[in-house]
Structure 1
Amino acid sequence: MNKIVTGENIVKSYGKGDEKRNVLDGVSAEIYQGEFVSVMGPSGSGKSTLMFALSGMDGVDGGRVAFDGSDLSALGENELADIRRTKMGFVFQQPTLLKNLNILDNIILTSIRDRRKNAAKITEKARALMKKVGIAELEKRDVTQASGGQLQRAGICRALMSNPKIIFGDEPTGALNSKYAQDIMNIFSEINEDGTAVMLVTHDANVAVRAQRIMFMCDGKIVSEMRLSKFSGTDIDDRMEKVIAKMREIGI
C-alpha cells in the first residue's frame, strides 16, 4: 500500500522558557492508503496535536510531515489550505455548522464557493451523501431542528464532498450517546470500505476497536501500536478484550 501521510520525528512545543514543554516529542507515524487508524491516549497525551500536525492544520517545530508526496513544511498557507480542502476531510466533536443556513446548504457551502459553475452537480452529490448516511429528509431543516447525531452525519457529508483521500476525526463521537456513536462509527467503517483512509483520535475503546491499527500515545510519544483484523461486526468482544489488555499493559 502507498503511504498517504508520513510524519518523521515530529516535535511540537507550547510555552516559553521554563514553561516550555513538548506536546509531541519526536513522534514518527505513517498512514497508508485505505487504512483505518485510531489514536488513543489520555487527555494531554498529544493525540489531537498529532492529528493537527499530520493534516497540516498546525505547523511543527521540528521533524517533517509529508502528505501524498508533498512536504507540508515547504508549502505556504494557501497551498496548505488547498490540500486540506481538496484532499482531506475533517470531522470534529462538535460540527461547525452555520445556524443561518439549512443543513443542505451547510454541506455544500465550501464546495459551491470553490466551483460555482458546478452548483447543480455539487447539490446532487450532497443529496446522494445525505441519503447514504440517512439524513436525506433533513435537507431543508435548520441546524436547530436536528439532533446531535444528525448534525454529525451532516458534518461527515461535508467532509466527503471533495472525495478526500483521508478523513481526520477528532473525538467525532465524544458528544453523542451510545446509539448515535455506534451509527457514526458504522458510517466511518463504510467510508473506509469505499477506499478512503480514516484517522480517528479518541479516548474511547469502543471507537478505537473499529480500526485496523491503533496507536497508543502517552506524554507526547507513541508508546505502542497494535494491529487488528478488518472489523466484521461479530468480533467486537474479542477486539475489546485485546485493546483493554494492551491499555493495561502500557498503563493508560
Structure 2
Amino acid sequence: MNIVSGEQIAKTFQVGKEQHPVLLDVSVAINEGEFISIMGPSGCGKSTLLYALSGMDSIDQGQVIFDGMDLTTLSDKELADLRRTKMGFVFQQPTFLKSLNILDNILLPAMRDERKNVRALTERALQIMNKMGIADLAKRDITQVSGGQLQRAGICRALISNPQVIFGDEPTGALNSTSAQEIMDLLTSINREGTTVMLVTHDPKIAARTERILFMSDGAIVNELRLPRFTGADLDDRMVKVVSTMQKIGI
C-alpha cells in the first residue's frame, strides 16, 4: 500500500528573469515500510522531490498524496500539522535551539500536542535516546556533543511523534565514515520496525544499504534499482550494482 505518491510533479524556480525547471513531470510511489533512496548529481532535483513529497515545498503542477490526503489541497497550517504528527525529518545539518539542552530540543516538536502529558512524553524521549545511544547526553547543551551525537539527537527528534515516514536529506553528508555507518545502522533499525524511510544521498555506499534506489538526472527519474534487504555482509556486491547503474546512465 502506498504511503506517499506523486503524480506528474513539476516544479520551476525563478532566478532573476529566468525560469529553471527542477522537476519535470515526475511520478513516483512509495510503499509503507520501504527503505528508499534518491541519487543523482547536484542540481538534478532530488532534494526538491523530497521536499515536494513531504509537503515542505509547493509544486507548480501535479499531485502529491500522503496517507490518502492530497497535499496540494491543504492549507499551510494543515500541512504543518501533518508534518509535525505524521512525518519526521533528518537533515545534513541538524538545527537546534541553542537555549535548550538536547532533551528539550527533542521534546519541542511534540509539546504542542502533548502539553498535558509532559511526563509521558519525556519518558518516551528518554527511551528513544537510550535506543539511539545518547541517553546520557540529555542535559547537555548542543555545543557539548559531537556531530554524530547531534545527528542521533536529530533522529530522536524525528521519531518523537511516532511518524509514519522519516525523510532524510543527506543525513550522513556532514559525518565521517564511522558516524555515517552508525546513523545508517539506526535508520535501518527504525525501518525494520515498520517506519518508512526515504533518503536523499550522493553517496553510493549509503544508497547501497537501502532497498530501492531512484536515480535522477535533469529533473527526472531516469532509472531504478531494487535490492534485497541489507544483511551487513553484502555491501560490496550492492555497491557494485549501484555504481554500475550510475555509470550506465551517466551520473
* TM-score normalised by structure 1 residue count: 0.98
After superposition, the Cα gap between the structure-2 partners of 1:246 and 1:104, relative to the gap in structure 1 and judged at 3 Å, is: same
Deviation at 1:17, TM superposition (A): 8.5
Partner of 1:15, secondary structure, is strand
Deviation at 1:115, TM superposition (A): 1.4
Measured in 1, the distance between the counterparts of 2:110 and 2:67 equals: 21
Cα displacement string for residues 206-233 of structure 1 (whole angstroms, at most 9, x for unaligned residues): 1101111000000000000010001110
Deviation at 1:141, TM superposition (A): 0.5
Measured in 1, the distance between the counterparts of 2:144 and 2:240 equals: 39
Measured in 1, the distance between the counterparts of 2:223 and 2:72 equals: 27
Partner of 2:80, secondary structure, is helix
Partner of 2:109, secondary structure, is helix
Measured in 2, the distance between the counterparts of 1:87 and 1:66 equals: 13
Measured in 2, the distance between the counterparts of 1:146 and 1:107 equals: 14
The match for 2:87 is: 88
1:54 corresponds to 2:50: no
The match for 2:238 is: 239
The match for 1:139 is: 138
1:174 corresponds to 2:190: no
Deviation at 1:29, TM superposition (A): 0.8
Any stretches of 5+ residues in structure 2 without a counterpart?
A: none
The match for 1:199 is: 198
The residue type paired with residue 21 of structure 1 is H
Measured in 2, the distance between the counterparts of 1:223 and 1:141 equals: 45
The residue type paired with residue 163 of structure 2 is P
Deviation at 1:113, TM superposition (A): 2.6
Measured in 2, the distance between the counterparts of 1:153 and 1:115 equals: 22
Measured in 2, the distance between the counterparts of 1:72 and 1:109 equals: 24
Question: Which 4+ stretches in 1 moved above 3 angstroms?
Answer: none
Partner of 2:166, secondary structure, is strand
Measured in 1, the distance between the counterparts of 2:177 and 2:166 equals: 22
Any stretches of 5+ residues in structure 1 without a counterpart?
A: none
Deviation at 1:107, TM superposition (A): 0.3
Partner of 2:161, secondary structure, is coil
Q: Give the % identical residues.
A: 63
